Amino acid sequence: MGERQRKAEAGEIIAVIRRVLAENGRDFIPQYLLAGLCMLAIAGTTAFSAWIMKYIIDDVFYRQQWELVGVICAAIIAAFALRGFATYGQAVLLAKVGNNIVARYQRRIFDHLMRLDIAFFTTTRSGQLAAQVAQNVTGIRDLLNMTLAAVARDLVSLVGLVGVMILQDPVLSLSALIIGPPLIYTVNYLMRRLRRVTREAVEINSRLLGAMQEAVQGISIIKAFTMEEVLACKIAHLIQNAEARSNKIARVSERLNPISEVLAGFAIAAVIAYAGWRAATHAEPPGNVFAFITALLLAYDPARRLARVQVGLERALVNARMIYEILDLEPQQGDAQDAKPLEVATGNVRFTDVRFSYADGQSVLHGVSFEAKAGRTTAIVGPSGAGKSTLFALVQRFYDVDAGKITIDGQDISKVTKRSLRSNIAYVSQHPYLFEGTIRDNIRYGRPDATDDEVVEAARLANAEEFILQQPQGYDTLVGENGVTLSGGQRQRISIARALVRNAPVLLLDEATSALDNESEAKVQQALERAMAKRTTLVIAHRLSTVVNSDHIVVLEEGQLVEEGTHRSLIALDGIYARFYRMQTERAENLLEGAVEIEDTAIEETGGRG
């Protein structure tokens, strides 16, 4: 079983290396050939340094042929100069290739993540994912570079030096090679322990970096709820685990050093003892022995690096595998084979017996049917958890329905391309999100080819132009991380402007005015009414005062459509909508009466003094 497992592990390493080479090898053949030639030059000059020791000792010092000093010195200078330039060349070439590989995998991973479904991101922590990608992407580069360095530099150097050793003294060579079997056994033993610990370390470090990122992003909440000590304890625990795993990796991987040093010490001592005994008894010139010992000492470094290659490959392999685990994820929700672009004439949206459950089995919608007529405003109201936001997610095909269908102008959205569907929809979330960059950039994300005049017009329609012009650089003001330099209402109005500049026939507003004060809400509501005039608009709102003028109102409760009609007809029906409306109206009246009483009391206490 152990032998089978070792073969499987070796096969896995070879499979990953083969895949990496298949995906990248052809693009870098010239660079790798040049780097390989540089490494061969390094290996050749290393072997030359050991081989020439025989002539330095025997011909120059033993036989005193001083006329060879100049030739030998020139040869040594040339060899070391060649080695220096070759070392520089291979390092620069491998660095450029490695950086290019890292860059192309970063682009590839991001492009792949953008193709994955919303469900993947709802079950994966964003901070942990970003940290994992940042850590693991270098594994691909290291696999290639270490493989090339092991073969072209260390293996060739070792073979050349062993050749010099055998050429000088075959018997001594056998005694020097006795360290091979125990060293191989040690490496295989360490690898089995290192694989599991390395993967644990990568996962713990990604959780740590993800937690730190989330803490920085949520710093206002942390301070508001005095969570500093709780988060500090959590981070400290993760740091302690990460430290423990890193220490364990160091203990396991560095265990090879004392073992290889002890074995090498025994081998070198045995060679020197045997060579000394033979020189004393047979009176042979010492050149062969010195050349042999020099080759043996120089061979130690490439032999040690080769022994450690599997240690490094094991770490790189874990990182590379985790990258490929992401790249091998297939989008669960792709376009149909015969999908065609959506062609919108009027923008009529119809839900027909729509049923939907999330992956965890939670059933959300139960046979919902209604029509959002073209050019009209349809409001969707109901208590939290009724399925309102899920309807919006289904319209944009973030998820596919379990049963029923959704059509736009009679076209089933499951049979059109997602890109064409979403390009005909503008969306304003209840949680406005701004990206790094300027205000102008964030508005233009709605339509990258929008002109500056169209950006300004969208901001004006969203009643955002006034506060934008008050910013230090106007439209070119940086918004900070997620718009931290702006108020919630300002972020929401920029989000609305981003939807307006898209100029899509279908507009989705998910609590679009939830972050605005009464004055700003009134301004934006007026702007939205102008913008919605020729669009099919679906509105989610908890404050019923914002939907009373809608052309059609749909009431959801526990995933079912329970009422629909206009505001007037639903009030007359005296059902759920009417009850919600009375509750909100009475609450507003009570708040107003309370404010008046407080003001009257204050006036009485001050004796009417203004």
pLDDT in tens, 190-229: 666 666 677 677 777 777 777 777 777 677 667 766 778 8
Quick check: 570 and 555 in contact, CB under 8 A?
yes
Determine the residue type at 138.
T
- 11-327 adopts what CATH topology? ABC transporter transmembrane region fold (1.20.1560)
Sketch the domain layout of the chain as residue ranges: 11-327
Task: Indicate whether 402 pLDDT > 80.
Answer: yes
Query: Percent helix, strand and coil across the chain, each rounded to 5?
Result: 70, 10, 20
Span of 184-188, 248-252, 259-263, 434-438 with lowest mean pLDDT: 184-188
Task: Mention every residue, 6+ apart, whose C-beta is less than 8 A from residue 520.
Answer: 463, 489, 493, 513
Determine the residue type at 216.
V
Rg value, the chain, Cα: 36
Using a 10 angstrom Cβ sphere, with 0-12 exposed, 13-18 middle and 19 or more buried, the burial of residue 298 is buried
34, HSE (Cβ side, Cα atoms, 13 Å): 14
Tokens representing 370? 């209604």
238, HSE (Cβ side, Cα atoms, 13 Å): 17
Tell me which H or E stretch contains 368.
strand 363-372
Q: What is the pLDDT of residues 50-73, one digit of tens each?
A: 778 777 777 777 677 777 778 888
Nearest to 468 by CA among 431, 450, 442, 447: 442
What is the Cα–Cα distance from 405 to 403, expressed in whole angstroms?
Answer: 7
Tokens representing 333? 């929700």
Higher pLDDT, 378 or 177: 378
Task: Indicate whether 409 pLDDT > 90.
Answer: yes
Task: Indicate whether 271 pLDDT > 60.
Answer: yes
Q: What is the pLDDT of residue 191?
A: 63
Q: What is the pLDDT of residue 610?
A: 41
Quick check: 479 and 485 in contact, CB under 8 A?
yes
Task: Indicate whether 110 pLDDT > 60.
Answer: yes
Task: Mention every residue, 6+ apart, whose C-beta is less than 8 A from residue 130.
Answer: 209, 210, 213
